[in-house]
A and B are shown apart, each in its own frame.
Chain A
Amino acid sequence: MQVTLKLFASLSPCLPPGAVRNKVDLEVDSNTTILGLLDSHHVPREKCHLVLLNGVFHAPEERDKVALKEGDVLAVWPPVAGG
């Protein structure tokens, strides 16, 4: 199934080739979890601060339990803020 991975700020170097403007579409197995996808791209776990699946925040303890679905968008940031 296809999902979209978006990695921002200092995490963007973890995106695979083919990514355009912080975003890449990926083919993944149907039982892939949030954490599984991030691990497979070597995104340092301790840097995954803001993890939004379809815009909704998922806390660290949920990330190895929530399986991705077709068309999901996973967007991840290190600790950032603004105002």
Chain B
Amino acid sequence: MGWTGKVLRIDLSNGTSKSEPLNMEWADKYLGQRGLASKYLVEEVDPKADPLGPENKLIMATGPLTGTCASTGGRYSVITKGPLTGAIACSNSGGYFGAELKFAGWDMVIFEGQSPKPVYVTIFDDDVQLRDASDIWGKSVWDADKYIKSTHQDQMIHVAAIGVAGENEVLYSCVVNDLHRAAGRSGVGAVMGNKNIKAVAVRGTGGVKVKDFKAFMDATNAGKKVLKDNAVTGEGLPAYGTQVLMNVINEAGAMPTRNGADVQFEGAGDISAEAMAEPRRTDGKPNLLTNQACFGCTIACGRISKVDETHFTIQNKPEYWHASGGLEYEAAWALGSATGTNDLEALTYVNFICNEQGIDPISFGATVGAAMELYETGVIDDKVTGGIELKFGSAEALVQCVELTGKAEGFGKELGMGSKRLTEKYGKPELSMTVKGQEFPAYDPRGIQGMGLTYATSNRGACHLRSYTVASEILGIPEKTDPLETDGKAGLVKAFQDATAAVDSSGLCVFTTFAWTLEDIAPQVDAACEGNWSVDKLLEAGERIWNMERIFNNQAGFTAADDNLPQRLLKDAAKTGPAEGLVAGLDKMLPEYYELRGWTQEGVPTNETLERLAV
């Protein structure tokens, strides 16, 4: 148990749905959520399929602990072939949607084909309907949420929707649930838009059964105590959120700034967690109102903010004078440091728009950063930007860009392609800070060497969440390693990748791992699920998942040559800070990484590895 044992398969082309039993043999090997849904995807979708075509599938998947009383047990993921990268995509989100899907009785929903007209899908326990979405097509995530709850007269419905960005197939559009939690990366929202699904609305009245109730309560209570007693999860994250990293990473000289030209941002303090909590000079109120928790979470790292009503972004837009999802570190970095912009209120507004229109702020901000470099170096001009003065540090330009990108209007249409396609179009591919087509996030590999290998080998394109070695290299969790050293990082990255793949498949939030190890997680999974889930079994499942994703990508056409970093990181040394004079030492880590993985030097898993893991 833990699993409901039921998969909902929706054929959009024919407008039909059916229930089928979960493949328990696969569940025993791939656990749930990321791992298990990826298994379904690789079995059912041709790796060479067009991500934006009816042959691609979109899966919304929960883990066995989703919807249970385990702390943070509310996660779900969206799994598909990503249009931004062409690689396997898996974007994880919190909020309440995942738990509600489980209460409705489903481990996952597989969407296949393409609806002939825009629909929204209602899943009210066993009652599944595809409904006409013409009233909300063209509207925002927030409007769709409101419309569905009022149409069905039930405020307890949880909605995952796309905004206009997903409808317009912006390549980094996301799926937003519960107004401001997002399955953010790799363009999963564009796949949903391509399938003509505006929203998925769920309401469940069941519960989640676990294998051994007493053991489960003991294990989850012990886990909650560890989170409470730990200074990071018990105090730091609830008070400051992930945004506390803004000053940390800047001081450590690992803050990619102005499209990665610099590694420190002079405006970091202005857009930090500390700045969010300070009373503003204009109205004496802080940007941050409170923290917020996802379903069942005892950490509560989320930010709820309110923009200054007199700020230029919203002074004439009272519809934005309310509280909403505030800046998390990655968004603050991308909208701020990557574009050289230090206007906290503007960044918060732009973040609101990203949530409202379903745009990944990481790829959006990084793409604007690349566009600003094209503009400042004279490669593009006002004619191309439609009159936007696209200078680094311009909050006005950033705001104009976000308002155009979701709608795919004017220069926004070009921004919506992502920085790889944008810079290639103008003959400057070296200005794209991407791996496998996806923009890298808020850690510069010149100052945190392990993150270079993390980005280069991430199966969904550059990503920090696939192996967050920052925890060890900067924050000293579980133990401190030297961020400027490449020695030992291959093993560190592999260990983080395998453990994270297991956590991402459980229904739990990866932020628990600032306090928990798999020793804390295994008893919770084991008490919920059949199958003797030990630490070793979780790690093996994680390694199996990693290899399965890799094989899909290799079959999609990726090779070792794609395990690379932008030339800027490999050739241009950091100009300031502890990493001054250093480049990313990827070549020193990658061969060892392949060896540890049991892959050939061409990055292909050997038969022996595949047999050992029974992939």
Residues of A within 8 A of B (CB): 6, 8-10, 12, 21-23, 49-50, 52, 54-57, 59, 73, 75, 77-83
User: Which residues of A sit under 8 angstroms from B510, Cβ to Cβ?
Assistant: 83
User: Which residues of B sit under 8 angstroms from A78, Cβ to Cβ?
Assistant: 231, 235-236
Q: B217-248, CB under 8 A of A: which get 1 and which 0?
A: 00000000000001110011101111111011
A42 to chain B, nearest CB (A): 19
Interface stretch (choices B9-17, B136-144, B464-472): B464-472
4 further A-B pairs in the complex, CB-CB below 8 A; given A49-B231, A55-B253: A55-B577, A81-B236, A83-B242, A83-B330
The answer, among B245, B270, B470, B476, for a CB contact under 8 Å with A49, is B476
Cross-chain contact B269 with A21 (CB below 8 angstroms): yes
The answer, among B247, B251, B274, B464, for a CB contact under 8 Å with A83, is B464
A-B contact list, 27 entries, CB within 8 Å? A6-B247, A8-B244, A9-B236, A10-B239, A21-B269, A21-B275, A21-B278, A22-B269, A22-B274, A23-B269, A49-B476, A50-B248, A52-B252, A56-B578, A57-B474, A79-B231, A79-B232, A79-B235, A80-B240, A80-B248, A81-B232, A81-B236, A81-B477, A81-B514, A82-B243, A82-B248, A83-B511
Cross-chain contact A54 with B274 (CB below 8 angstroms): no
Q: Is B293 positioned at the interface, with any CB of A under 8 Å from its CB?
A: no
Task: Mark out the residues of chain B between 458 and 514 whose CB falls within 8 Å of any chain A CB in the assembled complex.
Answer: 464-465, 468, 470-471, 474-477, 480, 510-511, 514
The answer, among A6, A9, A59, for a CB contact under 8 Å with B244, is A9
Cross-chain contact A75 with B236 (CB below 8 angstroms): no
B95 to chain A, nearest CB (A): 17
Cross-chain contact A82 with B244 (CB below 8 angstroms): yes
User: Which residues of B sit under 8 angstroms from A49, Cβ to Cβ?
Assistant: 231, 476
Cross-chain contact B242 with A82 (CB below 8 angstroms): yes
Q: A21-B275, A49-B476, A50-B476 are in contact. Are A79 and B329 (CB under 8 A)?
A: no
Name B242's closest neighbour in chain A (CB-CB).
A82
Q: A54-B578, A55-B252 are in contact. Are A80 and B244 (CB under 8 A)?
A: yes
Could you tell me the distance between the alpha carbons of A50 and B275 in the complex, rounded to whole angstroms? 20
Q: B17-47, CB under 8 A of A: which get 1 and which 0?
A: 0000000000000000000000000000000
Cross-chain contact A52 with B244 (CB below 8 angstroms): no
User: Which residues of A sit under 8 angstroms from B578, Cβ to Cβ?
Assistant: 54-56
Could you tell me the distance between the alpha carbons of A21 and B471 in the complex, rounded to whole angstroms? 25
Residue among A10, A50, A81 with the highest chain B CB neighbour number at 10 A: A81
User: Which residues of A sit under 8 angstroms from B240, Cβ to Cβ?
Assistant: 9, 80
User: Which residues of B sit under 8 angstroms from A56, Cβ to Cβ?
Assistant: 578
A24 to chain B, nearest CB (A): 13
Cross-chain contact A75 with B476 (CB below 8 angstroms): no
Could you tell me the distance between the alpha carbons of A22 and B239 in the complex, rounded to whole angstroms? 16
Name A56's closest neighbour in chain B (CB-CB).
B578
B462 to chain A, nearest CB (A): 15
Name B278's closest neighbour in chain A (CB-CB).
A21
Q: Is B273 positioned at the interface, with any CB of A under 8 Å from its CB?
A: yes
User: Which residues of A sit under 8 angstroms from B511, Cβ to Cβ?
Assistant: 81, 83
Could you tell me the distance between the alpha carbons of A42 and B427 in the complex, rounded to whole angstroms? 56
Name A57's closest neighbour in chain B (CB-CB).
B480
Cross-chain contact A80 with B269 (CB below 8 angstroms): no
Name B447's closest neighbour in chain A (CB-CB).
A55
User: Which residues of B sit under 8 angstroms from A75, Cβ to Cβ?
Assistant: 247, 251
User: Which residues of A sit under 8 angstroms from B242, Cβ to Cβ?
Assistant: 81-83
Name A54's closest neighbour in chain B (CB-CB).
B578
Q: B273-297, CB under 8 A of A: which get 1 and which 0?
A: 1110010000000000000000000
Cross-chain contact A83 with B480 (CB below 8 angstroms): no
User: Which residues of B sit under 8 angstroms from A83, Cβ to Cβ?
Assistant: 242, 245, 329-330, 464-465, 468, 470, 510-511
Task: Mark out the residues of chain B between 315 and 352 whose CB falls within 8 Å of any chain A CB in the assembled complex.
Answer: 328-330
The answer, among A10, A21, A52, A82, for a CB contact under 8 Å with B251, is A52
Name A76's closest neighbour in chain B (CB-CB).
B251
Cross-chain contact B269 with A81 (CB below 8 angstroms): no
Sorted nearest first, the 4 A-B pairs with minimum C-beta distance are A82-B242, A79-B231, A82-B245, A55-B578
User: Which residues of B sit under 8 angstroms from A73, Cβ to Cβ?
Assistant: 251
User: Which residues of B sit under 8 angstroms from A54, Cβ to Cβ?
Assistant: 578
User: Which residues of B sit under 8 angstroms from A8, Cβ to Cβ?
Assistant: 244, 247-248, 274
Q: B249-269, CB under 8 A of A: which get 1 and which 0?
A: 001110000000000000001
Could you tell me the distance between the alpha carbons of A57 and B365 in the complex, rounded to whole angstroms? 30
Name B301's closest neighbour in chain A (CB-CB).
A82
The answer, among A6, A12, A79, A80, for a CB contact under 8 Å with B245, is A80
Q: A6-B251, A21-B274, A49-B231 are in contact. Are A82 and B241 (CB under 8 A)?
A: yes
